[in-house]
Amino acid sequence: MRILHTMLRVKNLEASLHFYTQVLGMKLLRQKDYPDAKFTLAFVGFADEAEQAVIELTYNWDVHEYELGNAFGHIAIQVNDVYLACEQIRKNGGKITREAGPMKGGATVIAFAEDPDGYKIELLAS
């Protein structure tokens, strides 16, 4: 068994695709419209779905707002250098919500970015 993907509902597919591909550097792996059901699925990731888990962005055509709730935490992404990743995300128009630095009570360097829908993306050093 293995994890295939994590699904996130998004308000604006184009803004989300821009964030995940242009700001974080993922690839759009596949995208398909389902006109009868009025939704679009777009899969993004750093590698092919056969190699690692990806993110499924679900855009429901008639829904323009979601409540994120308080149970979901974040998606974690491994980077070579957390400080440099923050600079690159900012340079590409992304939002950093927690600057790079040691995690509370530990030595691991982390940071957090936020996607257009408010989902948190944790950056961890490799």
pLDDT at 57: 98
Judge whether 51 counts as a catalytic residue.
no
CATH architecture of 75-125: Roll (3.10)
Side-chain half-sphere exposure of 10, counting CA atoms within 13 A: 25
Q: What CATH number should be reported for the domain whose range is 5-60?
A: 3.10.180.10
Q: Are 94 and 44 in contact (CB under 8 A)?
A: no
Q: What residues does each domain of the chain span?
A: 5-60, 75-125
Q: Where are the beta strands (DSSP E) in the chain?
A: 5-9, 27-34, 39-45, 54-60, 75-79, 95-102, 109-114, 120-125
pTM for this prediction? 0.91
Q: Tens digit of pLDDT for each residue in 87-124?
A: 999 999 999 999 999 998 988 999 999 999 999 999 99
- Paired residues of 109 in beta bridges: 102
